[in-house]
Amino acid sequence: MKASLFVTCIADIMYGDVGKSVVQVLRRNGVDLDFPEGQTCCGQPAFSSGYYKEAAIVAKKMIEVFEKSEKVVIPSGSCAAMIHHGYPILFANDPIWKKRAEEFVAKCYEFSQFIVDILGITDVGATFPKKVTYHSSCHMTRILGVEEQPKTLLKNVKGIDFIELPYFFDCCGFGGTFSMKMADISGAIVEEKVENIIGTGAEVLVGSDLTCLMNIGGRLSRRGVPVQVMHLAQVLDQGGGKNAY
Amino acid sequence: MHIEPSFHKRYHKALRDTAMLKAVKNGTGRLRGQRATAIEGVGAERWMEFRNRAEAIRLHVIQHLDQYLEQLVDNVIKNGGHVCLAKTGEEAVQYISELAKKKNAKTILKSKSMVSEEIHLNPALEQQGCNVIESDLGEWIIQLAGETPSHIIAPAMHKNRFQVADLFNAVSEEKVSTEIADLCGFARKYLREKFLGIDIGITGCNFALADSGAITLCTNEGNARIISTLAPTLVTVMGMERILPGLEELTVMLSLLARSATGQKLTVYNTLSTGVRNPEELDGPQEFHLVIVDNGRSKQLGTKYEKILNCIRCGSCLNACPVYRNIGGHAYGWVYPGPIGAVLSPLYQGMDKYGELAYATTLCGACTFACPVKIPLHDMLYALRNDKVELEKTGGLVEDMTYKGWSAAFASMSRYRFSIGMARRFQFPLVKAEKIAYGPPPISDWLKHRDMPALPKKFFHEIWRDMKKDGKE
Ligand code: SF4
């Protein structure tokens, strides 16, 4: 199957390794993947702050960049949700771009959603003998409606000890600029999340949204808690997999 | 109670109040846990059906609000009641104050009413010498404390039992212990006596039924029922949107309200009162006044925020909200806290005063999912932010510059790659062991509570290039 990778700005800038794992996992599972030049960001930072015009400028660019793609895979729940939920709002009053946006939306999938729902794969053949818990990110579950797919993939990893995170559905407190604008409230919220993670006794926290993971990981690091933070793709990339290079 | 005008200062004060935060976390934790159990009992699918029906009912009412209001007013008058349509809070207060004067009222008993808090009714009545007593336990506690409600359905959620005992002991002749049963026992005894000398009773209104003019009152303590039975003059204060067509719709709403608010299948006392007593009846008021308050509501009709009028004040969005759970209700500044308050306050009271609340959210969407009538609260928070940028032509100086610069850079791959390349090159003074722990504004705000990973040696697009070179393309 042919697909294009929209790696997202956060992965491009901060977490290149996650992008690499995404590529490896998808290729191993038979995806003919390309990485269209010109891609930057879905526009979420501006959209969330109320700057719809600025967001639309960047969103249009992405729609153009992926015009020729058959399917687009995005390793970030909130960016996929931004496209699905935000683009129709951005272009509600612009019939031409609305149509182009709809076509784009229809082919955009979050990473785990793509593997489970489109490829029809629930076991990618990874091995990861560790105690793992999973944080469900808000926009991915509530707005995009992708909740079980990442957990299904995780639970099928060989050797994994999956522990459900108490209040896994609670926000981690990131909220984009909220984390800086109202840093102290955000700090209190992420502290709750970290306490819940510590309570599970997990060695690894897994998630599908790099910004949430950067937030939670940053707090774990500040407190010196030795819990490793990984994107789902990095876990699925462990242990060679069935068609390892 | 003095209210600090800056949200920033208010929430910082809240973050330091550990007793309050503990009480709020306990309270919200209990309520949302009970709600989750209740929904499990119904089944997720059926719950969704219920919500869809409730949403449809509310949408229908709001779209035909003028018609239903007219029908309600006609029926209340037919039943022998009086109606005041108050455009503003002041008008409503004035009407009730004058009535109290006319009746020479000394003792006024109230059951819980958020609208009466909204229009500042108590201080006005007290100023003219009335003894106003709140009969809802939570409301009475905060009245004793001289505070305002911090939660829509549990006004004293922010207080623990030790604080409550102190408040009770200040008015009690005998010592009241800190045991919950003792506290409740004392409140019951104390308030019961007050019911007997009542001149005017004031209630809120959960739902007014247009087809009969009946007022529905839901309480777990039965206090509203006592008031509506014993008060010679009864006043009900309602927001103009709190109408349902009739009993059929009420049954749907009552089961949703109770489950969303407290996880109960039904609130303990559901009273329907049609106003004045008939000649052959032994109890009920001799005079009934329905005060219908607009106070910013009608201006939402026909706007993108119209759905906010669907709200049935269940408080579920507060319990679901991570921000509410971590700062409590008072920090929001106006009567309605949490996500519903963050939307209502700027809409009813003005962006200039409460616009900041649109940013008091992580936009996690938990509120929208908790809402029994499916108000897209978090979408409205986005829209409010957009309104600020579009209508006020600025979302703040720094923000304006940031997002103009951002869109210019991120709309072009070369400019984007150039900017992030510069950031990587100049981050070195801040990086220690591949992470950043200290830095200048604005990242200093981020770094207050967490570290930040340093920008790695290779961006993904560079890794991709290498993968291609390695023949793995
Ligand atoms: S907005 Fe919805 S959840 Fe919040 S109080 Fe109103 S009805 Fe309840």
Over residues A67-90, the pLDDT tens digits come to 999 999 999 999 999 999 999 999
Last residue of a domain, one of B280, B298, B316: B298
Segment B118-147 shows an average pLDDT of: 96
Instruction: Pick the closest to residue A74 from A33, A132, A30 (CA basis).
Output: A33
Contacts of B361 in chain A (CB under 8 A): 175, 178
> Among all residues of chain A, which has the CA nearest to that of B33?
A167
Contacts of B366 in chain A (CB under 8 A): 138, 142, 169-171
Which domains are present in chain A? 2-118 (no CATH), 131-236 (3.40.50)
Segment A26-34 shows an average pLDDT of: 95
CATH number at residue B227: 3.40.50.10420
Closest Cβ–Cβ partner in B451, B456, B462 for A218: B451
Question: Does the CB atom of residue B340 touch ligand 1 within 6 A?
Answer: yes
Domain containing B457 equals: 427-469
Over residues A193-234, the pLDDT tens digits come to 999 999 999 999 999 999 999 999 999 999 999 999 999 999
- State the pLDDT confidence band at A244, using cuts at 50, 70 and 90: very low
What pLDDT is attached to residue B429? Answer: 86
Last residue of a domain, one of B298, B328, B345: B298
> Among all residues of chain B, which has the CA nearest to that of A175?
B362
**Could you tell me the two tokens for A90?**
């951005």
Residue B365 falls inside a structural domain? no
- State the pLDDT confidence band at A245, using cuts at 50, 70 and 90: very low
ipTM: 0.95
Residue B319 falls inside a structural domain? no
Segment A166-194 shows an average pLDDT of: 96
DSSP state letter for A84: I
Q: How many domains does chain B have?
A: 2
- State the pLDDT confidence band at B470, using cuts at 50, 70 and 90: low
Q: Which of B261-275, B293-307, B383-397, B413-427 is predicted least confidently?
A: B383-397
Residue B244 falls inside a structural domain? yes
- State the pLDDT confidence band at B2, using cuts at 50, 70 and 90: low
What pLDDT is attached to residue A243? Answer: 42
Burial class from Cβ neighbours inside 10 Å (0-12, 13-18, 19+) for residue A58 reads: buried
Interchain CB distance below 8 Å, A184 and B385? no
Burial class from Cβ neighbours inside 10 Å (0-12, 13-18, 19+) for residue B313 reads: middle
Is the same domain home to B131 and B275? yes
What pLDDT is attached to residue B397? Answer: 79
What pLDDT is attached to residue B467? Answer: 87
Last residue of a domain, one of B279, B298, B317: B298
Q: Looking at the predicted structure, is the pLDDT value of residue B383 above 80?
A: yes
- Quick one: what percent of chain B has pLDDT higher than 90? 84
Over residues B13-68, the pLDDT tens digits come to 999 999 999 999 999 999 999 999 999 999 999 999 999 999 999 999 999 999 99
What pLDDT is attached to residue A56? Answer: 97
Using CA atoms, how far residue B343 sits from B148, B328, B369, B394, in Å, is: 19, 16, 16, 19
- State the pLDDT confidence band at B468, using cuts at 50, 70 and 90: confident
Could you give the 3-state DSSP secondary structure of residue B452? strand
Mutate to test the interface with A, among B10, B401, B460 (most CBs of A within 10 A): B460
Residue B230 falls inside a structural domain? yes
